[in-house]
Structure 1
């Protein structure tokens, strides 16, 4: 039987606010970064990140960032880790489920070494694209990863690794850029519609006595309206006494402590 109550106060569901991507790492990995353009001045870090952290306030979140950022923005990673949780999002946003497993092993080993150089603890991983291969969990576990956030499925433990899956309809970009939806759309949804959809997701998660993460991208939190939407979601989740709002690592620790062996 799975978990039916969550957190130290026995809430009906668990939720995490999470962030994916940082800096120019993904553009570099995809070959989209302009030749000769300087590194280390990306607006997602220099302009947007301080505003995001201010909006979060005392609400702790999990930031899944590419390990390349440890070479360019080590101070920003340390700033995040002061009040929030830092986790890995590959090296330069490689589509994890499409990689040969030897490449996965090399990249996660490299990534964990880079994070270690910044003295920031990292024990979580979200695969870009959401996919894993048959051997991914073993590879990640061997590298010291304790929780993984792939696409789809219920939360739970697999051979000691906590799975904290995400849903595509909780990703901010699917509202701002409807072509990213599954299936794709042409209709942009505004803040009120986005927050209404997230209330529905929260209700579904309560009904299932489950877990869900909401995913934002610092790059796209670039307007007062989008920052306000994040602030409203934080308030919405904090006000719902059915929900345990916690970073991924705390949810993983709870699963590990309460799941029968």
Structure 2
């Protein structure tokens, strides 16, 4: 007799959980690197691509996403932030100015927290409860600062589970990130994952995502999908996003929710996730 499949750990009637996420709000990182020659507040990813992405989310069953935004950008793009919160999307934290988190020393890390929470307090409707570290890695001391600042979840590269101090870990993987497929500077990461080093086709990204979504539904797992607004630069790329949204929004087995809601569920039901707790 085949073994009985364990019941789903997700809210009834769902069998899997998927979060649609976005990273990088405007030119925060370029300004940090002194590589932004245009007027502040005019990045096309915010003025052009983001409204179209939000329209696609609304079109497909009013799906809500999580936008990991640099705190520096909150005051630069208040209208975009207001549009996100008004539509029910989560605005989560992505560093102050997209500083690569794994390279920060203790003083720099604490200063990023301090400046970011000050910026969030000044931004209407923003309360950071989640963090995606730029570069994908957290430092050992980050866990204490997350607890100190009341952050409920973190979204790094890594394993899903419940981390130190009860901070929920909602990870991403490189292949579920559009930049992995679309950007030249990810050639080394593509090679590490057994892919061609040259930039890959949006159709290949879509094919991988569709297969992975099927797998996540079969296994009952969590998945984070990441679309960067600044990379949605062609009709073909927008087609990928739209077809993925259509696929997940029409599947009654998939709970599509902002990261903060997934994290809240995991934190309130630790008995459903005991094998994947992280120490």
Q: What TM-score comes out, normalization by structure 2 length?
A: 0.86
Match of 2:265 in 1: 254
Distance 1:94 1:238 in 2: 34
Match of 2:277 in 1: none
Which residue of the other structure, out of 73, 76, 81, is the alignment partner of 1:77?
81
Q: CA deviation at 1:188?
A: 3.7
Match of 2:160 in 1: 154
1:212 aligns with 2:223: yes
* Contact 2:182–2:202 (Cα < 8 Å) also in 1: no
Q: CA deviation at 1:126?
A: 0.3
Q: CA deviation at 1:20?
A: 0.5
Residue segments in structure 2 that go unaligned for 5+ positions in a row:
1-5, 275-279
Which residue of the other structure, out of 26, 31, 44, is the alignment partner of 1:28?
31
Q: Secondary structure at the match of 2:71?
A: coil
Distance 1:4 1:23, change over 3 A: farther
Cα deviations by residue, 1:136-166 (Å, 9 ceiling, x for unpaired): 1111221121111011212334312111010
Which residue of the other structure, out of 108, 133, 138, is the alignment partner of 2:139?
133
Residue segments in structure 1 that go unaligned for 5+ positions in a row:
none
Match of 2:118 in 1: 113
Q: CA deviation at 1:193?
A: 2.1
Match of 1:223 in 2: 234
* Contact 1:124–1:148 (Cα < 8 Å) also in 2: yes
Which residue of the other structure, out of 239, 242, 247, is the alignment partner of 2:250?
239
Note the aligned Cα RMSD (angstroms).
1.9
Which residue of the other structure, out of 181, 200, 204, is the alignment partner of 1:189?
200
Q: CA deviation at 1:234?
A: 0.5
1:64 aligns with 2:68: yes
Deviates more, 1:226-235 or 1:174-183: 174-183
Distance 2:162 2:184 in 1: 30
* Contact 1:109–1:143 (Cα < 8 Å) also in 2: no
Distance 1:190 1:39 in 2: 32
Cα deviations by residue, 1:99-133 (Å, 9 ceiling, x for unpaired): 11221111112111101111222211100000111
Q: Secondary structure at the match of 1:8?
A: coil
* Contact 1:74–1:118 (Cα < 8 Å) also in 2: yes
Q: CA deviation at 1:186?
A: 3.4
Distance 1:131 1:56, change over 3 A: same
